[in-house]
Structure formats: C-alpha cells, structure tokens
Structure 1
Amino acid sequence: MTPEAVIHIISQAFWTTVVLSAPLLLIGFAVGIVVNIIQIATSMQDAAFSTIPRLGAFLFGFLLLMPWMLKQISAYSISIFGDLSRYAR
C-alpha cells in the first residue's frame, strides 16, 4: 500500500467523521444557546434544565438523521471495501 493510498483512506475517514458528526453537534449547540438564553432571562440555574432539552434534541436529531447517516457510512464502507484489492497491492 502506497503512502498516498494511506493518506487518501485517512482523509476520507476524517471527512466522513466530520460530515456525520457536524449536524448533531450543531443541533446540540443551537439548543444549548437557546436554553442558556432562557436560563439567563429567568435566572434559573438548574443543571437538569440545560441537560435534558439538549439530550432530547440530540436524540430527536439522531433519529431524524439516522437514514442519511446510514447512507453516508454505507457509501464510505462500500468505497473502502470496493477498493480493497487496489489497497492490497
């Protein structure tokens, strides 16, 4: 396996990881900002109040995005295993 092939595999894996994790991270970030604004406006500093909505939004986003995520990870796996003979040389 050439160094270029290794770099290609690693960069493709990194990019797939970024693409798969970015939507969920953005959902968590947006919900966190909204919850923090509500906490500031109401002077309510309860840890459960900030954690539970964030986890709920994360779970909802995960369930909503799961078909797309499975399609992305399947395409990545097919591309890696499809080119396995090329990498084995």
Structure 2
Amino acid sequence: MTADFVIEITTKTLELTMIIAAPMLLFGLIVGLLISIFQAVTQIQEMTLTFIPKIVAVVVALIIFFPWILDKLVAFTFNLFQNIPIYIGKF
C-alpha cells in the first residue's frame, strides 16, 4: 500500500465527510445567527436560549437531507467495495 493511495482514499473520505456535514452545520449557523440577532435586539442575554433552536434546526436539516446523505454514503461505499480488486493490485 503506497502513501499516495492512502492519501487519495483519506482525501476522498474527508471530502465526503465535509459535504455530508455541511447542510446541518449551515442550518445550525443560520439559526444561531438569527438567535444572536434576536438577543442583541431584545437585550436578552440568556445563554441557554440558543441551544434548543440549534438542536431543532440540525435535526430538521438531518431529516430533510437524510436521503441525499444516504445516497452519497451508499455510492461511496459501493465504489470502495467494487474497487477492492484494484486496490489489492496496487500492493
């Protein structure tokens, strides 16, 4: 197993991880920003006010994007398993 091969697989895995995590992170970021603006306008400085809306936003994003995430993961895993003979030949 060469270093280039390991770097290639690791790079693809990390790219997929970032792509899959992006929708949930963006929903949480947007909701957090909206709650921060609301807190600044109303001068409510309650730290626990941000947690529940962010958690709900991330769960909603997960529900919305779950079919897409599952499709990406299945395609990546299928490609990985399908190319095992090629990967073994690289040793």
- TM band (smaller chain): over 0.9
RMSD of Structure 2 on Structure 1 (CA): 1.1
The match for 1:43 is 43
Amino acid at match of 2:78: I
Which structure exhibits the higher relative contact order, with contacts defined as CA atoms closer than 8 Å and separated by 6 or more residues? 1
Mind listing any 5+ residue stretches in structure 1 that lack a counterpart? none
Q: C-alpha distance in 2, partners of 1:5/1:79?
A: 15
- Give the total of aligned pairs: 89
Equivalences for residues 1-89 of structure 1 within 5 A: 1-89=1-89
Deviation at 1:3, TM superposition (A): 2.9
Deviation at 1:68, TM superposition (A): 0.4
What per-residue deviation string (whole Å, max 9, x for no partner) do you get for residues 26-73 of structure 1?
111111000000001111111221111111111100111100000001
Hey, which bits of structure 1, 4+ residues long, moved more than 3 A? Answer: none
TM-score when normalising by structure 1: 0.92
Q: Percent identity?
A: 29
Q: C-alpha distance in 1, partners of 2:56/2:3?
A: 43
Q: C-alpha distance in 2, partners of 1:61/1:83?
A: 32
